[in-house]
């Protein structure tokens, strides 16, 4: 693949901008500055540097973000800064593939929810992870206002009716960790689902943190606001349907 096409595919701007970056000596491959935008490289496992920052080549980008509180999962946020401002701009401007322009969040978390969020430009992956058919478990650490009772845990496991559908929604798992800490596993992703389920059993969410999706736990060393690549080879291990 031509070097300017490699840069273009990874979100470094139009082909013209990418060619300019190369011609101006801003791009190095295997430690050597490359000034020919047409130079050929096998993109598989390629690492290159643009203005001193190292980038791995990925046909599709998959990443995890530790969403901090006070951020919105929208491209056009209304009140709080967008989570997309936490990502380097090439990730947001990767060229459009299968209707996805740049990386997109897989589902959304509320402004005040923290924790694990996946982002990708792979439309099929977004669809698979969001589809209720796939029952992808998501684990939430819930801090409640009132002490959690045994009855509330039983009700969450048995199913509660929310205001938008007569069909009860159930927690796939529900563990009381302490008086006001509940670990709740859901396999769907309805709007404000955790908050509405807790309200339906007579409690109230004071703090919400997503600690895992599928087999992927939010890494302890990934601080709020930080992101990390997920390698395509890790997808099967983390998100096997």
Among 10, 71, 104, 113, binds ligand URA (CB under 6 A): 113
Torsion sign, CA atoms 19, 90, 51, 39: negative
Residue 173 exposed, middle or buried by CB count within 10 Å (0-12, 13-18, 19+): middle
Among 109, 126, 136, 213, binds ligand URA (CB under 6 A): 109
Contact flag: residue 117 with ligand URA (CB under 6 A)? no
Q: How far apart are CA 14 and CA 215, in angstroms?
A: 37
Torsion sign, CA atoms 7, 11, 14, 17: negative
The answer to whether 110 is a known catalytic residue is yes
215 Cβ contact partners less than 8 Å away, ≥ 6 residues apart: 237, 238, 239, 240
| Whether 57 contacts 43, CB under 8 Å | yes
Binding mask 187-216 for ligand URA (x = CB under 6 A): -----xxxx------------x--------
Provide, rounded to whole angstroms, the least separation between the CB of residue 60 and ligand URA: 25
Q: Which of 110, 121, 163, 221 is catalytic?
A: 110
Stretch that binds ligand URA, among 44-52, 120-128, 186-194, 216-224 (CB under 6 A): 186-194
Provide, rounded to whole angstroms, the least separation between the CB of residue 63 and ligand URA: 19
Give the residue numbers marked as catalytic. Answer: 110
């Amino acid at each position: 693949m031509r070097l300017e096409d490699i840069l273009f595919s990874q979100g470094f701007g139009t082909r013209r901008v990418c060619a300019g970056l190369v011609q101006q000596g801003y791009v190095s491959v295997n430690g050597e500055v490359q000034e020919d935008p047409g130079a050929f490289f096998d993109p598989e496992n390629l690492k290159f540097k643009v203005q001193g920052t190292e980038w791995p080549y990925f046909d599709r980008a998959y990443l995890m973000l530790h969403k901090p509180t006070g951020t919105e999962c929208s491209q056009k946020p209304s009140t709080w800064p967008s989570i997309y401002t936490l990502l380097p701009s090439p990730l947001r401007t990767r060229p459009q593939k299968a209707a996805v322009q740049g990386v997109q969040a897989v589902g959304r978390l509320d402004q005040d929810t923290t924790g694990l969020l996946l982002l990708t430009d792979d439309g099929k992956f977004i669809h698979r992870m969001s589809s209720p058919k796939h029952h992808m478990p998501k684990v939430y650490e819930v801090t409640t206002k009132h002490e959690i009772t045994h009855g509330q845990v039983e009700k969450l496991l048995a199913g509660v009716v929310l205001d938008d559908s007569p069909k009860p929604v159930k927690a796939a798992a529900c563990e009381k960790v302490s008086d006001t800490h509940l670990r709740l596993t859901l396999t769907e992703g309805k709007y404000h689902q955790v908050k509405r389920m807790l309200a339906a059993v007579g409690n109230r969410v004071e703090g919400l943190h997503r600690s895992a999706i599928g087999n992927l736990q939010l890494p302890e060393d990934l601080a709020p606001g930080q992101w990390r690549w997920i390698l395509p080879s890790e997808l099967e291990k983390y998100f096997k349907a």
